């Protein structure tokens, strides 16, 4: 009679295989999509420099540099603008750190595919990152890698919120600011979210229960 492996031994073997499987390298299209904000900023800066040199010469380029430095100083000195710029910057940085954390914590399929980052939005506590777990990975893998993800994101903590309808979807809440320390023009922020077993609808269309958005737009990161 043929002996079949037990479910436990099958899971252990699959887990061992995943640990020894290297992370799959993304193709050039995926790389370009993941770095699209940086590439667009570099291309836009290069185009502006070339246009200024051709139309106004070196003097126009120097004047534009002075104006840009003044605007950067204004953003840095005006607290609302500084907070907005910082939130936008973290929305670009955090998806890269989430992917790096997943790769280092072996949150991947048996073919080396890490979860897909769908989009990122700024929240009072930090950022919320929506991810699509590929076949072979689950939100449980993200839950077990919370410490690695928090360290990779340079955050105090991360929390995983599951979708009750779709098992492959989850939200990663990256907690950077304590509610009692993060105070702005809107007044004291509400407490940081707690892990939840399910999502619920609310007035602004957000399907997760912790903390409503503060008016920041979302960044798509589907790669």
Report the pLDDT value the prediction gives residue 202, as an integer from 0 to 100: 42
Span 1-27, average pLDDT: 57
Percent of the chain with pLDDT over 90: 40
Query: How far is the CA of 103 from the CAs of 21, 71, 84, 132, 142, in angstroms?
Result: 11, 38, 30, 15, 11
- Matching residue, tokens 């269309």: 205
Q: At what angle do helices 57-77 and 36-55 cross, to 10 degrees?
A: 140
Instruction: Evaluate if residue 17 carries a pLDDT over 80.
Output: no
**Letter string b/e over residues 136-145, b meaning 16 or more CB atoms within 10 A of that residue's CB:** ebbbebbbeb
User: What span, in angstroms and rounded, lies between the C-alpha atoms of 64 and 174?
Assistant: 37
Averaged pLDDT score across all residues of the chain: 76
Weakest mean pLDDT among 39-48, 92-101, 206-215: 206-215
Instruction: Give the pair of three-digit tokens for residue 218.
Output: 């979302």
Q: What is the pLDDT of residues 95-139, one digit of tens each?
A: 999 999 999 998 988 888 999 999 999 999 999 999 999 988 899
The answer to whether the beta carbons of residues 190 and 211 sit under 8 Å apart is yes
Q: At what angle do helices 57-77 and 79-104 cross, to 10 degrees?
A: 90
Instruction: Evaluate if residue 76 carries a pLDDT over 70.
Output: yes
Report the pLDDT value the prediction gives residue 220, as an integer from 0 to 100: 57
Among residues 81, 78, 96, 86, the alpha carbon closest in space to that of 176 is found at 86
Which H helix or E strand runs over 153? none
User: What span, in angstroms and rounded, lies between the C-alpha atoms of 134 and 168?
Assistant: 7
Phi, psi (degrees; rounded to nearest 5) at 118: -85, -55
Weakest mean pLDDT among 18-32, 49-63, 103-117, 178-192: 178-192
Instruction: Evaluate if residue 90 carries a pLDDT over 60.
Output: yes
0.75 exceeded by the pTM? no
Instruction: Evaluate if residue 160 carries a pLDDT over 70.
Output: yes
Span 150-170, average pLDDT: 93
What sign does the CA torsion over 191, 194, 199, 200 have? negative
Report the pLDDT value the prediction gives residue 130, as an integer from 0 to 100: 95
């Amino acid at each position: 009679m043929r002996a079949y492996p037990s479910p436990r031994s099958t899971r252990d073997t699959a887990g061992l295989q995943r640990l020894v499987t290297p992370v799959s390298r993304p193709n050039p299209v995926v790389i370009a999509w993941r770095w699209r904000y940086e590439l667009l900023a570099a291309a836009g800066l290069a185009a502006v420099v070339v246009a200024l040199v051709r139309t106004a010469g070196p003097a126009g380029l120097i004047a534009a540099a002075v104006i840009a430095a003044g605007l950067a100083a204004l953003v840095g000195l005006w607290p609302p603008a500084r907070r907005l710029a910082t939130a936008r910057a973290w929305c670009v940085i955090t998806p890269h750190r989430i992917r790096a954390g997943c790769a280092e914590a072996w949150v991947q399929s048996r073919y080396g595919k890490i979860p897909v980052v769908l989009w990122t939005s700024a929240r009072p506590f930090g950022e919320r990152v929506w991810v699509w777990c590929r076949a072979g990975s689950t939100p449980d893998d993200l839950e077990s890698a919370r410490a690695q993800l928090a360290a990779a994101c340079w955050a105090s903590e991360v929390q995983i919120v599951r979708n009750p309808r779709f098992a492959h979807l989850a939200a990663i809440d990256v907690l950077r600011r304590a509610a009692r320390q993060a105070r702005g023009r809107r007044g004291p922020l509400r407490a940081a979210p707690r892990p939840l077993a399910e999502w619920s609808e609310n007035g602004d269309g957000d399907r997760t229960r912790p903390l409503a958005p503060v008016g920041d737009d979302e960044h798509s990161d589907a790669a």
